């Protein structure tokens, strides 16, 4: 794979020949992927391509029918649920907290994998929770009920809970869904902070430009298989967007960043449709 | 900054290797509920043709009473009072578990078909004479058969509701549907049965603590004690289930397994309660909701729910025996007291703006 030459750490989490499905419908068929350590990986692809299924399989929420997911050299299926929870934090799509639960209490639940019936709360726990609250910038909200917060704040709180789990590996399933652009940027900046602090993050994202901007490693999926992967600069091309999404687009340098910027070309409202790079102009699909 | 935040995070209490989160209000409410339940329990023992004042009841319970009191209390009145306590705790805890699992306050054992199933079996045994019914009633007894009926119906609802996981709303809908079928069977049995049997069945159906003897109470008491120990053991792993399956799994909980065990306990607790006192309505639904609001806790607290259940049932029994010249079955009063109490708690929350 192209991981070694990209300067990433060796992968701690990988899928080997994994097939997953619901009932008799196969969503992912014989997929291989290695999640590079210490960077942000974004999984993108059209609706229903199996992005979330892949993430859930990597997190051990789904059991593959064939193949294995490997975490730190061990088959994740052979590990205890609790051991997995101490190594890997997961934020599922659109989680819901019980009404009236305070932010501090919610984040404190992240300590669960480290607690037992007798040892339900230690001073260690308090310190880790306080740090998780501070890192996600929700300390001031600690005694507010979660349901009274805005969508962006709420997502920060949930990320804070997964942080309190104390794992280096974070899996986020569409962390920006239902958020307006400003809050989405806010949450992704937070993800970048986590990465800077040394964590490995894998997230499923819908927005391609945000994925290109905020990830170091892109995994592009289509129909349950990986179409391309690598640094966004190498991966995002007009051809790929056409192959993966059936989208006509131009890829231009991001005027404010060092990543590619995707400018979609729809059927209407396009004043200058001709693509001077000749990448995608010819077919109308 | 950091110490500032730490102050907002719930403080912990440590004693040797044991540590837990210190929630003063929850602890206070739980203690107050326990004290109130005990007081009403003693009050309930004191009531009767031979009234015994509270201090003498307590003295007798502690083994320092007079011999006359001891006979009346220990042999005649304690079974009934204990039955009220146990049935109340069982229903309260069962309701707290089912409401937590479904993440929906509607999901009480009444709604999930457990009581309806137990009732249908009991009415079948009472109204159908001879043949299979007589054999069952003769060998295992009415209470055990009703318990089995509740368990069977509970399991049926659980498996029908299962579809790649458990969805709370689906569980409730299936429960309502199965309950309706059970109610239809019960009604059909009542309509076609002999009128004398119908009277007996009706008395059972309202839910009553009348004439409970040690034999009946012992079974419910033993079953509930064992089940409550299992519930207490599972309570810690049960907590993350309030956040849904994915979060629970992410926090290292084998949620399907924990949920199945806890739900089974809830079904058996409700079944034991119904077999001892009949389908006492509303306690399992209202007790966890009342406990949540009294304790200002976001999820149904197990211990407090059980205590509210005990308080509600024992208190209702006291009212049922003293308020009117005729003695009412307890089930009539639990609904009459429990309903307005829940409405009061909800309205009070509205007035506070939350």
Percent of chain B at pLDDT exceeding 90: 40
pLDDT at A87: 92
Same domain, B114 and B180: yes
Kindly give the residue spans of alpha helices, DSSP state H, lying in B19-77.
Answer: 24-46, 54-61, 67-70
- Closest Cα of chain B to A56: distance in Å? 9
The residue-averaged pLDDT of B113-137 equals 80
Q: Does A27 touch chain B (CB under 8 A)?
A: no
Same domain, B144 and B271: yes
State how many domains chain A has: 2
Same domain, A188 and A283: no
Give the H or E element holding residue A263.
Answer: strand A260-264
Q: Report whether A81 contacts B252 (CB < 8 A).
A: yes
- Closest Cα of chain B to A92: distance in Å? 6
Same domain, B115 and B253: yes
C-alpha to C-alpha distance for A105 and A98, rounded to whole angstroms: 11
Same domain, B264 and B328: no
Nearest-CB residue to A123 (from B2, B12, B18): B12
The residue-averaged pLDDT of B289-315 equals 94
The residue segments making up the domain with residue A268 are: 236-285
Query: What is the CATH classification number for the domain harbouring A223?
Result: 3.40.50.300
C-alpha to C-alpha distance for A40 and A219, rounded to whole angstroms: 11
Q: Does B191 touch chain A (CB under 8 A)?
A: no
Estimate to the nearest angstrom the gap between the alpha carbon of A12 and the chain centroid: 16
pLDDT at A7: 46
On whether residue B246 sits in a domain, the answer given is yes
Inter-chain touch B21–A108, beta carbons under 8 Å: yes
Q: Which two tokens stand for residue B27?
A: 């602890």
Q: Which residues of B touch A60 (CB under 8 A)?
A: 249
pLDDT classification of A280: cutoffs 50, 70, 90: very low
pLDDT at A9: 61
Q: What are phi and psi of A37, to 5 degrees?
A: -80, 150
Q: Report whether A222 contacts A244 (CB < 8 A).
A: yes
Q: Does B66 touch chain A (CB under 8 A)?
A: no
B68 CB-near residues (< 8 Å, 6+ apart) = none
Same domain, B237 and B125: yes
- Closest Cα of chain B to A61: distance in Å? 7
On whether residue B132 sits in a domain, the answer given is yes
HSE at residue A191, side-chain half, CA atoms within 13 A, is 32
pLDDT at B92: 96
Nearest-CB residue to A108 (from B2, B9, B246): B9
Using alpha carbons only, how large is chain B's radius of gyration in Å? 21
pLDDT at B342: 77
In sequence order, the β-bridge partners of residue A204 are: A43, A173
Same domain, B160 and B301: no
Q: By 3-state DSSP, what share of chain B in percent is helix, strand and coil, each rounded to 5?
A: 75, 0, 20
Burial of A54 (0-12, 13-18, 19+ CB in 10 A): buried
State how many domains chain B has: 2
Q: Which residue has the higher pLDDT, B353 or B35?
A: B35
Phi and psi based region of residue A283 (left: phi greater than 0; alpha: psi -120 to 50; beta: remaining): beta
pLDDT at A264 over 80: yes
pLDDT at B104: 85
Q: Report whether A54 contacts A15 (CB < 8 A).
A: yes
On whether residue B261 sits in a domain, the answer given is yes
Same domain, A109 and A241: no
Same domain, A23 and A132: yes
Say if strands A260-264 and A88-91 run parallel, antiparallel, or are unpaired.
unpaired
What is the CB neighbour count within 10 angstroms for residue A146?
Answer: 26
Q: Does B239 touch chain A (CB under 8 A)?
A: yes
- State the SS3 of A131-144: HHHHHCCCHHHCCC
Same domain, A167 and A231: yes
Q: Report whether B210 contacts B276 (CB < 8 A).
A: no
- Closest Cα of chain A to B258: distance in Å? 13
On whether residue B77 sits in a domain, the answer given is no
Same domain, B115 and B214: yes
HSE at residue A23, side-chain half, CA atoms within 13 A, is 4
pLDDT at A8: 57
Nearest-CB residue to A95 (from B19, B243, B298): B243
Of B93, B146, B119, nearest in space to B284 by CA: B93
Same domain, B208 and B327: no
Of A211, A248, A201, nearest in space to A231 by CA: A211
Q: Report whether A54 contacts A63 (CB < 8 A).
A: no
- Closest Cα of chain B to A260: distance in Å? 34
How many Å from the N-terminal Cα to the C-terminal Cα in chain B? 30
Same domain, A227 and A282: no
Q: Which residues of A touch B1 (CB under 8 A)?
A: 134, 139
Of B273, B312, B314, nearest in space to B44 by CA: B314
pLDDT at B5: 56
Q: Position of tokens 């707290």?
A: B96
**pLDDT per position as a tens digit, A212-236:** 999 999 999 999 999 999 999 999 9
Q: Which residues of A touch B254 (CB under 8 A)?
A: 81
pLDDT at B180 over 70: yes
Same domain, A249 and A153: no
B294 CB-near residues (< 8 Å, 6+ apart) = B29, B33, B304, B308, B345
Estimate to the nearest angstrom the gap between the alpha carbon of A227 and the chain centroid: 18
Same domain, A163 and A258: no
**pLDDT per position as a tens digit, A41-75:** 999 999 988 999 999 999 999 999 999 999 998 99
* pTM summary value: 0.88
CA angle, A227 then A176 then A193, to 5°: 90
Same domain, A229 and A251: no
Same domain, B199 and B338: no
Nearest-CB residue to B5 (from A100, A105, A134): A134
Q: Which two tokens stand for residue A183?
A: 């809050």
On whether residue B14 sits in a domain, the answer given is no
pLDDT classification of A267: cutoffs 50, 70, 90: confident
- The residue in chain B having the minimum alpha-carbon distance to the alpha carbon of residue A84 is B252
On whether residue B56 sits in a domain, the answer given is no
Q: How far is CA A148 from CA A142, A154, A155, B343, in A?
A: 12, 9, 12, 23
CA angle, B171 then B311 then A97, to 5°: 40
Same domain, A63 and A134: yes
Q: Does B23 touch chain A (CB under 8 A)?
A: no
Answer with the one of B279, B296, B321 that is the final residue of a domain.
B279
Average pLDDT of chain B to the nearest whole number = 86
| A residues 163..182 contacting B (CB < 8 A) | 165
pLDDT at B6: 57
Q: Which residues of A touch B13 (CB under 8 A)?
A: 121
In sequence order, the β-bridge partners of residue A225 are: A222
pLDDT at A284: 42
The residue-averaged pLDDT of B284-288 equals 92
Q: Does A91 touch chain B (CB under 8 A)?
A: yes
Q: Which residues of B touch A131 (CB under 8 A)?
A: 2
How are strands ordered across the β-sheet holding A25-37? A25-37, A9-22, A66-71, A74-75
Inter-chain touch B299–A101, beta carbons under 8 Å: yes
C-alpha to C-alpha distance for B216 and A40, rounded to whole angstroms: 64
Same domain, A109 and A166: yes
The residue segments making up the domain with residue B328 are: 282-354
Inter-chain touch A110–B251, beta carbons under 8 Å: yes
Report CA torsion sign: B270, B287, B225, B82: negative
Same domain, B270 and B165: yes
C-alpha to C-alpha distance for B272 and B309, rounded to whole angstroms: 14
C-alpha to C-alpha distance for A268 and B106, rounded to whole angstroms: 50
pLDDT at B124 over 80: yes
DSSP 8-class letter at A120 = -
C-alpha to C-alpha distance for B13 and B17, rounded to whole angstroms: 11
On whether residue B206 sits in a domain, the answer given is yes
| A residues 54..83 contacting B (CB < 8 A) | 59-61, 80-83
Query: What is the CATH classification number for the domain harbouring B155?
Result: 1.10.3470.10
Q: Which residues of B touch A101 (CB under 8 A)?
A: 298-299
Same domain, B300 and B320: yes
Same domain, A121 and A258: no
Q: Which residues of A touch B297 (CB under 8 A)?
A: 100
C-alpha to C-alpha distance for A249 and A242, rounded to whole angstroms: 8
Of A117, A114, A111, nearest in space to B233 by CA: A117
pLDDT classification of A273: cutoffs 50, 70, 90: low
Q: How far is CA B344 from CA B117, B289, B323, in A?
A: 31, 12, 21
**pLDDT per position as a tens digit, B250-282:** 999 998 899 989 999 999 999 889 888 888 888
Answer with the one of B224, B254, B279 that is the final residue of a domain.
B279
In sequence order, the β-bridge partners of residue A171 are: A90, A202
Q: Which residue has the higher pLDDT, B304 or B338?
A: B304
- The residue in chain B having the minimum alpha-carbon distance to the alpha carbon of residue A109 is B240
Answer with the one of B236, B252, B279 that is the final residue of a domain.
B279
**pLDDT per position as a tens digit, A156-169:** 999 999 999 999 99
Same domain, A27 and A159: yes
Same domain, B254 and B289: no
On whether residue B54 sits in a domain, the answer given is no
**pLDDT per position as a tens digit, A69-117:** 999 989 999 999 999 999 999 999 889 899 889 999 999 999 999 988 8
Q: Which two tokens stand for residue B161?
A: 């509701």
pLDDT at B1: 44
Q: Does B165 touch chain A (CB under 8 A)?
A: no
């Amino acid at each position: 794979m192209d991981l070694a030459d990209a300067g990433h750490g060796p992968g701690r989490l990988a899928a080997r020949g994994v097939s997953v499905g619901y009932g008799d419908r196969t969503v992912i068929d014989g997929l291989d992927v290695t999640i590079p350590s210490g960077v942000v990986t974004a999984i993108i692809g059209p609706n229903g391509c199996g992005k979330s299924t892949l993430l859930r399989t990597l997190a051990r929420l789904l059991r593959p029918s064939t193949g294995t997911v490997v975490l730190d050299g061990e088959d994740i299926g052979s590990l205890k649920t609790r051991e997995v929870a101490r190594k890997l934090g997961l934020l599922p799509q659109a989680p819901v907290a019980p009404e009236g639960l305070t932010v501090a209490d919610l984040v404190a639940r992240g300590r669960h994998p480290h607690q037992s019936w007798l040892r339900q709360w230690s001073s260690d726990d308090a310190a880790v929770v306080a740090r998780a609250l501070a890192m996600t910038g929700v300390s001031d909200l600690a005694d507010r009920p979660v349901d009274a917060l805005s969508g962006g704040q709420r997502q920060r709180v949930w990320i804070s809970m997964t942080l309190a789990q104390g794992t280096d590996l974070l899996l986020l399933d569409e962390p920006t869904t239902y958020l307006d652009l400003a809050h989405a940027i806010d949450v992704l900046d937070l993800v970048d902070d986590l990465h800077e602090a040394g964590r490995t993050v894998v997230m499923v994202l819908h927005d391609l430009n945000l994925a290109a901007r905020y990830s170091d490693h892109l995994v592009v999926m289509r129909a349950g298989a990986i179409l391309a992967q690598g640094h966004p600069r190498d991966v995002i091309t007009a051809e790929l967007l056409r192959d993966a999404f059936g989208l006509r687009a131009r890829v231009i340098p991001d005027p404010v960043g060092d990543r590619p910027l995707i400018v979609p070309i729809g059927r209407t409202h396009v004043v200058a449709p001709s693509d001077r790079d000749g990448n995608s102009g010819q077919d109308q699909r | 900054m950091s110490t500032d935040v730490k102050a907002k995070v719930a403080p912990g209490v440590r004693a040797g290797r044991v540590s837990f989160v210190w929630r003063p209000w929850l602890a206070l409410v739980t203690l107050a509920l326990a004290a109130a339940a005990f007081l009403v329990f003693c009050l309930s023992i004191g009531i009767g043709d031979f009234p015994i004042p509270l201090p003498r009841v307590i003295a007798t319970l502690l083994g320092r009473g007079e011999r006359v009191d001891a006979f009346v209390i220990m042999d005649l009145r304690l079974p009934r009072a204990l039955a009220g306590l146990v049935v109340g705790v069982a229903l309260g805890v069962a309701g707290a578990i089912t409401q937590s699992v479904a993440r929906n306050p509607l999901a009480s054992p009444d709604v999930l078909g457990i009581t309806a199933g137990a009732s249908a079996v009991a009415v079948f045994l009472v109204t159908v004479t001879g043949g299979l019914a007589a054999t069952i009633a003769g060998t295992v007894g009415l209470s055990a058969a009703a318990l089995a009926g509740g368990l069977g119906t509970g399991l049926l609802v659980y498996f029908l509701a299962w579809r790649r996981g458990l969805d709370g709303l689906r569980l409730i809908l299936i429960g309502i549907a199965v309950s309706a079928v059970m109610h239809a069977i019960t009604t059909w049995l009542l309509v076609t049965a002999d009128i004398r049997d119908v009277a007996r069945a009706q008395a059972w159906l309202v839910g009553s603590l009348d004439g409970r003897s040690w034999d009946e109470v012992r079974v419910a008491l033993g079953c509930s004690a064992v089940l409550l120990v299992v519930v207490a053991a599972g309570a810690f792993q049960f907590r993350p289930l309030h956040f849904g399956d994915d979060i629970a799994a992410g926090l290292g909980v084998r949620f399907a397994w924990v949920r199945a065990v806890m739900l089974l306990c809830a079904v058996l607790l409700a079944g034991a309660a119904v077999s001892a006192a009949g389908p006492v309505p509303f306690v399992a639904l209202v007790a966890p909701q009342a406990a949540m609001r009294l304790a200002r806790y976001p999820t149904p607290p197990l211990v407090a729910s059980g205590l509210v259940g005990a308080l509600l049932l024992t208190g209702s029994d006291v009212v049922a025996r003293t308020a009117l010249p005729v003695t009412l079955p307890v089930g009539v009063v639990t609904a009459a007291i429990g309903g307005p109490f829940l409405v009061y708690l909800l309205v009070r929350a509205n007035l506070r703006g939350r």
